[in-house]
Amino acid sequence: MGSKNNGRTTLEVGADGVAVITIINPPVNSLSPDVLHSLKESYDEALQRDDVKAIVVTGTNGKFSGGFDITSFDGMQSGKVEQPKLGFVSVEIVSDTLEAAKKPSVAAIDGLALGGGLEVAMACHARISTPTAQLGLPELQLGVIPGFGGTQRLPRLVGLTKSLEMMLTSKPVKGEEAVGLGLVDAVVSSHELIETARRWTLDILARRKPWVATLYKTEKLEPLGEAREIFNFARAQARKRAPNLKHPLVCIDVIEEGIVAGPRAGLWKEAEAFQVLLKSDTCKSLVHIFFAMRGTSKVPGITDRGLMPRQVRKVAVLGGGLMGSGIATALILCNYTVILKEVNEKFLEAGIDRVKANLQSRVKKGKMSQEKFEKTISLLSGVLDYERFRDVDMVIEAVIENVSLKQQIFADLEKFCSPHCILASNTSTIDLNLIGERTKSQDRIVGAHFFSPAHVMPLLEIVRTRQTSPQIIVDMLDVGKKIKKTPIVVGNCTGFAVNRMFFSYTQLGLFLVERGTDVYRIDRVITKFGMPMGPFRLADLVGFGVAIASGMQFIENFPERTYKSMLVPLMQEDKRTGEGTRKGFYSYDNKRKPSPDPELYKYIEKSRSISGVAVDPKFVKLSDKDIVEMIFFPVVNETCRVLAEGIAVKAADLDIASVMGMGFPPYRGGIMFWADSLGSKYIYCRLEEWTKMYGEFFKPCAFLAEMAAKGAPLSAAVEQAKSRL
Ligand SMILES: C[C@H](O)CC(=O)SCCNC(=O)CCNC(=O)[C@H](O)C(C)(C)COP(=O)(O)OP(=O)(O)OC[C@H]1O[C@@H](n2cnc3c(N)ncnc32)[C@H](O)[C@@H]1OP(=O)(O)O
């Protein structure tokens, strides 16, 4: 199958006649083609040897297996690596060698058994796990379905409803839940795991415990009529949740085949579907996102220097507003001690109340116990001055966007904090060099740009200036990881990476509306493309105050590519500023449900007349494809500039920025990956055509022009991007 030597299994036979087969392929013991071959060989050997009575399968270093080796997907997709013949793993190895073996086997699961890892475990005749082990079939998050028999065995162990939930959401269960579900047979601590599994397999041999071939179990399966209803419900849910995705529906079909036509038929249908889905654009995009997410914390010149992150124990947050309180919440949730500073008692109390409310909402949803709430909130204390800042390891400033205020704060911080303290600002627009102008500490000033609500949104932009020291970036990356954010390291400029993309996105909506495209149609088309909401619904949600403030920054810094429409200011004049005022592009009822508002057309008319633009029938009848391209190609253009200016290290980081910061659909691989699927030349030509018709605003940047001329993909251009850092 594969050519690279990539992992193996070992076989050790004890005096009790139990052979322990151990999967070894760090870091997660993934099932590479080599591991799978070796697993078959170890099994064949154990089955042949007379001194082996029974088998235990386990993984090295406290991890059973993280599943099929995702790094081998690329080779199989491009045809560089030969795909295993149909059914080789699921039928020949997993079913006909492991499950059909004449000697009993038990899986000893610690750490994780995901995807193919759990599928191997389910083919054993029993499973023992540790209470915290994670067991799941997360293949759908990679655009494929379980391919080693998981679609057939999981329903037979836990029932249809739970197995569908586990596969369709890709969420694992912990060992302690798994035992209740029937997925594992017993839960024991790590140090008892192998011994218990050895005894268990000998007990099976002696018929003191059942010898179960899961593929043929039926008692957990619902009767056919009921099963059909469950499938139909699951299909309706899958269509509603992700209308553009086919593989969840394929997964349901494959499970159904096993119920209707028997598990062997199900296995073959699964094998065929897996091979087809592996080559789909959705799978390629989602696998790209998987690796891109893990790649954002690998920053050339920073994380390859052997620097170790310093320990951050205590963090001070300045400002208890929406952002500051969200940041404080994110920190205490991950066990950091936090001091929240405000300017007076009233603001301080309000800030602490916001943090409490953030935690309480978890308690209400049953995600946090009252006891955990008390323990978490005890990590937070409030102050009105800098006295207690002397022993903090990091400060995150999150006050209003006012340059002189921030300059004063950083000058004060330099006086009160220790010289090792990291000085971070949550500014979303202001130049960090300006913020640190009145200090001598430029080397430890860094941007920590959170997205609202900060305790929920997964992205963190870490902004570095030319002076920020690599150690500070390494420290920030570590804190980011500990508070469960995906960090992207970016350079210092107006709007950094995410807001620059966002700005193009919202502006183009205004351009189209002034020429006659319907507001609500644009939102519908963009939602159908896969964004969580269209640009107008989003503007309402965020509130026009933010849109206007960042708009001003862009007009100032990038005037040649700012579309100047009066629509938003006109609405603001009438106090229509979005969801907060119950009226924006939509009107909102008591439950904040949006509906189209005919009054909006009055404002559109007025802004058209100010801009001197007439309705163009072409724009009234624009196709869905044209709407998508006119909204997103300028975003691609701006993203190219961000890359070419060296604001981002690599295109894949911008894919993650678009997915996690903007809500760009991950199954399209992020903005640059999607652009490359269409081709740089095509995007360049369309932008050129629009530039001629509608002005400089659409003009493709030099980087895009260069890539188009070479016929090169935008994401292959890392070397060309000259870093400004
Ligand atoms: C036919 C079958 O049905 C098909 C399959 O099995 S498809 C695979 C199904 N399995 C999965 O989807 C699991 C994917 N992995 C994960 O969710 C997480 O990596 C994890 C929960 C296993 C570990 O998470 P965490 O401890 O945070 O470590 P994380 O940084 O994600 O991973 C550690 C390293 O292992 C790699 N890795 C994780 N799972 C892998 C896999 N299945 N194959 C290859 N590499 C994998 C990661 O890329 C990362 O590599 P890096 O250090 O070079 O960046």
What distance in Å separates the CA atoms of residue 479 and residue 487, rounded to the nearest whole number?
A: 10
DSSP 8-state secondary structure symbol assigned to residue 208: S
Statement: residue 577 has pLDDT above 60: yes
> Does the active-site annotation cover 719?
no
147 touches ligand 1 (CB under 6 Å): yes
Phi-psi region of 467 (alpha: psi -120 to 50; beta: other; left: phi over 0): alpha
Q: Which of 12, 41, 92, 119 is catalytic?
A: 119
Ligand 1 centroid distance, CA of 614 (Å): 54
Q: From the CB of 67, is ligand 1 less than 6 Å away?
A: yes
What is the model's pLDDT at position 724? 44
Does the beta carbon of 294 sit less than 6 angstroms from any atom of ligand 1?
yes
- The residue type found at 695 is G
User: For the chain, what percent of residues have pLDDT higher than 90?
Assistant: 88
pLDDT at position 27, please? 96
- Checking if the pLDDT of 30 tops 50, the result is yes
Q: How far is the CA of 132 from the centre of ligand 1 (A)?
A: 17
554 vs 348, more confident: 348
What contacts 346, CB < 8 A, 6 or more positions away?
Answer: none
Range with lowest mean pLDDT among 86-100, 379-393, 552-566, 681-695: 552-566
Give mean pLDDT, residues 304-309: 96
| 477-491 residue pLDDT tens | 999 999 999 999 999
Q: Is the peptide bond before 138 cis (omega within 30 degrees of 0)?
A: no
Minimum-distance ligand 1 atom for the alpha carbon of 67: 6
d(CA 196, CA 378): 41
How many A from CA of 186 to the centre of ligand 1? Answer: 25
* CB-CB contact of 435 with 425 (8 Å): yes
Q: How far is the CA of 90 from the centre of ligand 1 (A)?
A: 20
CA gap 389, 423 in Å, rounded: 11
Contact 700, 684 (CB under 8 A): yes
What is the SS3 assignment for 193?
A: helix
| Catalytic status, residue 696 | no
Confirm whether the ipTM is greater than 0.90.
Answer: yes
Q: For ligand 1, say whether the CB of 119 is within 6 Å of any of its atoms.
A: yes
Q: What ligand 1 atom has the least distance to the C-alpha of 291? A: 48
Amino acid letter, 165: E
Peptide bond into 559 cis (omega under 30): no
270 lines ligand 1 (CB under 6 A): no
Q: Which residue has the tokens 């009848």?
A: 621
Quick one: average pLDDT of 101-121?
A: 98
Average pLDDT of 272-291?
97
Q: Would you say residue 636 has pLDDT above 90?
A: yes
Protein residue with least CA distance to atom 3, ligand 1: 146
DSSP 387: G
Q: What is the dihedral of CA 370, 373, 374, 380, to 10 degrees?
A: -170
Task: Please write the tens of the pLDDT for every residue from 330-342.
Answer: 999 999 999 999 9
Q: For the chain, give the mean pLDDT.
A: 94
Question: Residue 82 pLDDT > 90, yes or no?
Answer: no
pLDDT of residue 205 exceeding 60, the answer is: yes
Beta strands in 470-536 (DSSP E): 486-491
Query: What pLDDT shows up at residue 299?
Result: 94
Q: Is 27 in the pocket of ligand 1 (CB under 6 A)?
A: yes
Q: What is the mean pLDDT of residues 534-561?
A: 85
Rounded CA gap, 248 and 167, in Å? Answer: 9
CA 94/CA 215 separation, integer angstroms: 11
Beta strands in 170-286 (DSSP E): 173-174, 186-187
The Cβ of residue 74 has, within 10 Å, a number of other Cβ atoms equal to 14
Q: What separation in Å is there between the alpha carbon of 65 and the centre of ligand 1?
A: 9
Atom of ligand 1 nearest to the CA of 71: 44
Rg of the chain's alpha carbons, rounded to an integer? 28
- HSE (CB half, 13 Å, CA atoms) of 540? 24
Measured CA to CA, the distance from residue 116 to residue 212 in angstroms comes to 19
The per-residue pLDDT for 220 is: 96
Q: 5 falls in which pLDDT band (50, 70, 90)? A: low
The yes-or-no verdict on residue 326 having pLDDT over 80 is yes
| Residue 379 C-beta-side C-alpha neighbours within 13 Å | 22
Ligand 1, residues 4, 23, 28: which to mutate, most atoms within 8 A of Cβ?
A: 28
The dihedral through the CA atoms of 226, 227, 232, 237 has a sign that is positive
Q: Residues 41, 45, 139, 226: which is the catalytic one?
A: 139
Out of 60-64, 331-335, 719-723, which region has the weakest mean confidence (pLDDT)? 719-723
Contact 2, 33 (CB under 8 A): yes
Tell me if 320 CB under 6 Å of ligand 1: no
Residue 8's Cβ-count burial label (10 Å; 0-12, 13-18, 19+) is middle
The response to whether residue 655 sits with its C-beta less than 6 Å from ligand 1 reads no
- Report which ligand 1 atom has the smallest distance to the Cα of 294: 54
pLDDT (average), residues 637-643: 96
**Cβ contact 340:348 at 8 Å:** yes
Q: What angle do CA 71, 77, 80 make, to 5 degrees?
A: 85
For the residues 536-549, what does the mean pLDDT come to?
86
Looking at the CA of residue 145, tell me the nearest atom of ligand 1. 3
**Does residue 59 have its Cβ closer than 6 Å to ligand 1?**
no
Of all residues in the chain, what percent carry a pLDDT higher than 70? 98
Least-confidence region, from 123-137, 561-575, 678-692? 561-575
Spatial separation of the C-alpha atoms in residues 596 and 594, rounded to whole Å: 7
> Ligand 1 centroid vs 66 CA: distance in angstroms?
6
Q: Is the CB of residue 511 below 6 angstroms from any atom belonging to ligand 1?
A: no
User: What pLDDT sits at residue 722?
Assistant: 47
Q: Whose CA is nearest to atom 21 of ligand 1?
A: 66
Model confidence band, residue 563 (pLDDT cutoffs 50, 70, 90): confident
Whether residue 453 is preceded by a cis peptide bond, meaning omega within 30 degrees of 0, is: yes
Q: Whose C-alpha lies nearest to ligand 1, atom 37? A: 28
Predicted confidence at residue 723, as pLDDT, reads 46
The verdict on pTM exceeding 0.90 is yes
C-alpha 3 to ligand 1 mean position (Å): 20
365-417 per-position pLDDT tens digit: 999 999 999 999 999 999 999 999 999 999 999 998 888 999 999 999 999 99
Probe target for ligand 1 pocket from 63, 70, 151, with the most ligand atoms within 8 Å of CB: 70
More confident residue, 526 or 403: 526
Average pLDDT over residues 206-223: 97
555 pLDDT above the threshold of 90: no
- Residue 455: pLDDT over 80: yes
Predicted pLDDT at 699: 95
- Which stretch of 86-100, 339-353, 373-387, 557-571 has the lowest confidence by average pLDDT? 557-571
Domain architecture of the chain: domains with CATH: 8-279 (3.90.226.10), 314-492 (3.40.50.720), 499-716 (1.10.1040.50)
- What span, in angstroms and rounded, lies between the C-alpha atoms of 592 and 306? 51
| Spatial separation of the C-alpha atoms in residues 177 and 173, rounded to whole Å | 6
Smallest CA separation from ligand 1 atom 9, residue: 115
The confidence score (pLDDT) of residue 561 equals 86
CA of 58 to the centre of ligand 1 (A): 17
Residue range 227-243, pLDDT digits in tens: 999 999 999 999 999 99
Tell me which of 724 and 463 has the higher pLDDT: 463
- Establish whether residue 87 lines the binding site of ligand 1, counting it when its CB lies within 6 angstroms of any ligand atom: no
